[in-house]
Amino acid sequence: MINRAINNSQLLNKKFNYQDKSIFNKKNIEKTELSFLANATNKKDIKSLLKARKFVEDSLQKVKKTDPNFKFNKEHYDFFTLKVFETLNPDSVKKIIYKTEDKINELNEIEFFKAQKKLSKEIIDTLEKIDGNLISYKGIEFEPEPEHLEWIIWRAFLAINSFNNEIKNTRGFPVDANFLPIHHASGGKEDLFFEFDDYCLLIEVTFKTGGSQFKDEVEPVYQHTTKKINLYKNKSVYCLFLAPQIDLNLSNSFHGTYFDNQNNEYSGNIIPMTIKQFTKIFGELFHKKNTLTPIVFRDIFDKILLMKSEIKPNEWLFFINKAIEEKLQN
């Protein structure tokens, strides 16, 4: 465990130039192999470390008395101090490991997020293939699963940027060390969520079409949306629903209003859109023109929502496409 804690601390220092100064400003500890304790959280750990050091020093003095030629350098002192510390404080070492690994994951995700802006072509290529047989990432081809659809839309919005919530809170699905999705967002949680300066945006995605789309998606999408509406009372809340095609019955549901179990009525502000339509918006306005911002998206949403009560559900789907095409031409 000690070596894991030390390696984590060294990685944070060398790769990210990150150090927690809470321990380094204590005169008792120098910047040695013991510097992993920069991630300790209280004075108790420092005292335990010094106690371990004293134990090692006393033990070595006893050895020297029996063998005057015995040699023991500074590295030996550090090594045995750490081992004694680990024995005396296994829980403290575990906490240090958890803290450093959380920080490493956080900083790696920030790096991943910053890289997306320059990867718009790769994002578009994946979006264009996402409902096909194969997609590729870093030279490896694989069959797209529902979590990969969530993942590539997430990457598109990371590239657009301008959100206020923490990166890890923008996605409902877990990721591995390479930021590939492990599985799709769990039930009861939206796929993606972004809080911007002026509004909030949920994003729900699915590969389902036809009757299964209507049957399986309407209720949870409305529930997730109304939950956020009640949580963010000082901001407008929108929901973007993405699928390969939009079922007319689903369009009819989102075209109307929703009542919760308390009989409260919600308009929902839910915009159904095909993956192809979203890809065109991202490709034209972000990749080519570099003009796509959350405000531009909201303008599109507002124009679409303004007409939903004026026309029939099937006409609304045609209008959505028209509104997108007009925005792309401006």
* CATH number, position 163: 3.40.91.50
User: Helix or strand or coil: residue 265?
Assistant: strand
| Domain span including residue 304 | 123-329
The pTM of this model reads 0.80
Same domain for 215 and 296, yes or no, is yes
CA distance 52 to 317: 71
Same domain for 316 and 220, yes or no, is yes
Q: Would 114 be classed as within a structural domain?
A: no
Q: What is the pLDDT of residue 46?
A: 66
The domain boundary residue, chosen from 88, 110, 135: 88
Same domain for 155 and 11, yes or no, is no
Q: Is the pLDDT of residue 22 over 50?
A: no
Q: What is the pLDDT of residue 119?
A: 97
Q: 153 with 160: CB under 8 angstroms?
A: no
The domain boundary residue, chosen from 66, 88, 110: 88
Q: Average pLDDT, stretch 96-112?
A: 86
Q: Is the pLDDT of residue 180 over 50?
A: yes
pLDDT classification of 27: cutoffs 50, 70, 90? very low
Q: What is the pLDDT of residue 25?
A: 36
Q: Would 233 be classed as within a structural domain?
A: yes
Q: What is the pLDDT of residue 72?
A: 66
Q: Would 95 be classed as within a structural domain?
A: no
Q: Would 107 be classed as within a structural domain?
A: no
Same domain for 171 and 243, yes or no, is yes
Same domain for 231 and 133, yes or no, is yes
Q: Is the pLDDT of residue 309 over 60?
A: yes
User: Helix or strand or coil: residue 314?
Assistant: helix
Same domain for 195 and 77, yes or no, is no
Same domain for 300 and 170, yes or no, is yes
Same domain for 130 and 276, yes or no, is yes
Q: Would 117 be classed as within a structural domain?
A: no
Q: 237 with 229: CB under 8 angstroms?
A: yes
Q: Is the pLDDT of residue 186 over 70?
A: yes
Mean pLDDT is lowest, of 52-66, 118-132, 227-241, 256-270, for 52-66
Q: Would 99 be classed as within a structural domain?
A: no
Number of domains in the chain: 2
- Tell me how far the alpha carbon of residue 26 is from its chain's centroid: 35
Same domain for 171 and 235, yes or no, is yes
As given in the structure block, the two tokens for residue 196 are 């911007």
Q: Which DSSP string corresponds to 202-246?
A: EEEE-S--HHHHHHHHHHHHHHHHHHHHHH-TTSEEEEEEEESS-
Q: What is the pLDDT of residue 24?
A: 35
Q: Is the pLDDT of residue 19 over 90?
A: no
pLDDT classification of 29: cutoffs 50, 70, 90? very low
pLDDT classification of 45: cutoffs 50, 70, 90? low
Q: Is the pLDDT of residue 138 over 50?
A: yes
CA distance 252 to 79: 69
Same domain for 77 and 146, yes or no, is no
| 14-23, 40-49, 76-85, 256-265: range with highest mean pLDDT | 256-265
- What pLDDT, in 10s, does the model give residues 46-82? 677 677 777 777 777 777 777 777 676 666 666 676 6
Q: Would 103 be classed as within a structural domain?
A: no
Same domain for 310 and 214, yes or no, is yes
Q: Would 169 be classed as within a structural domain?
A: yes
Q: Is the pLDDT of residue 139 over 80?
A: yes
Q: What is the pLDDT of residue 23?
A: 37
- Residue with the bigger pLDDT between 233 and 90: it is 233
Q: What is the pLDDT of residue 91?
A: 73
Same domain for 54 and 166, yes or no, is no
pLDDT classification of 135: cutoffs 50, 70, 90? very high
pLDDT classification of 94: cutoffs 50, 70, 90? confident
The domain boundary residue, chosen from 63, 88, 113: 88
Q: What is the pLDDT of residue 152?
A: 98
- Provide the mean pLDDT of the chain: 86
Mean pLDDT is lowest, of 165-169, 219-223, 261-265, 272-276, for 261-265
Q: Average pLDDT, stretch 217-225?
A: 94
Mean pLDDT is lowest, of 13-27, 52-66, 239-253, for 13-27
Using CB atoms within 10 A of its CB, is residue 186 exposed (0-12), middle (13-18) or buried (19+)? exposed
Q: What is the pLDDT of residue 184?
A: 95
